[in-house]
Amino acid sequence: MDPVTPSPETPAPAKHGWRVALASAVVLVVGIGAFLGIYLPTHQHSTAAGTSNPAVTGCPSAAAPPASAPGANETIQETDGNRITQAKVGDIISVSLPSSSEFYWTYQSSPTAALQMLSPTGYYDAAHHACVWNIKANGAGQNMLVFVRQPTCHKGFACSPFEILFRFALVVH
């Protein structure tokens, strides 16, 4: 066989080139989307009877907000990680962290007699699009409130197993 003449088994080089390029581009886009967890999030937070869907809100509780929530003397938000929150014995401290279908929150601090979590814990507050924990200061002392934000893993998408810790210093007098 002549080295210049293609054999019958060799496909024509340019005949299917555009299909290969298109398939490669689709695989690349789908792969990047799966790697980064890109998807179209739903914005439907509430379900029947005022409860919420934790898979959508990122809040650990599906419970409805309390009908008569105690008024908070202090509110701690995600941006307050570099400041010390001061409170008095008997105060209610509200921790309000942003809600998202792309991540979820957990409370990681060890329970102490000085701080009492009020039920429901980690509920969705639709008015502020936030997950809320209300804590009553029962005793004086220094406390570290630790919350962990982790990505929500959706079926069919790659998920990075990282955690972001949010530590809030709370001093009760």
User: What pLDDT was estimated at residue 89?
Assistant: 97
Structural domain contains residue 24: no
User: What is the band of 5 on the pLDDT scale with cuts at 50, 70, 90?
Assistant: low
Structural domain contains residue 134: yes
pLDDT of 22 over the 60 cut: no
Query: What is the CB neighbour count within 10 angstroms for residue 107?
Result: 18
Domain span at residue 91 reads 48-172
User: 52: which DSSP letter?
Assistant: B
Average pLDDT for 46-59:
69
Collapsed DSSP state (helix, strand, coil) of residue 84:
strand
Structural domain contains residue 153: yes
- The CATH number of whichever domain residue 70 belongs to comes to 2.60.40.2020
pTM (global) more than 0.75: no
Structural domain contains residue 26: no
Structural domain contains residue 16: no
Structural domain contains residue 111: yes
CA 78 to CA 145: how far, in whole Å? 12
Query: What is the CB neighbour count within 10 angstroms for residue 140?
Result: 12
Structural domain contains residue 140: yes
Structural domain contains residue 53: yes
Average pLDDT for 10-23:
54
Total number of domains constituting the chain: 1
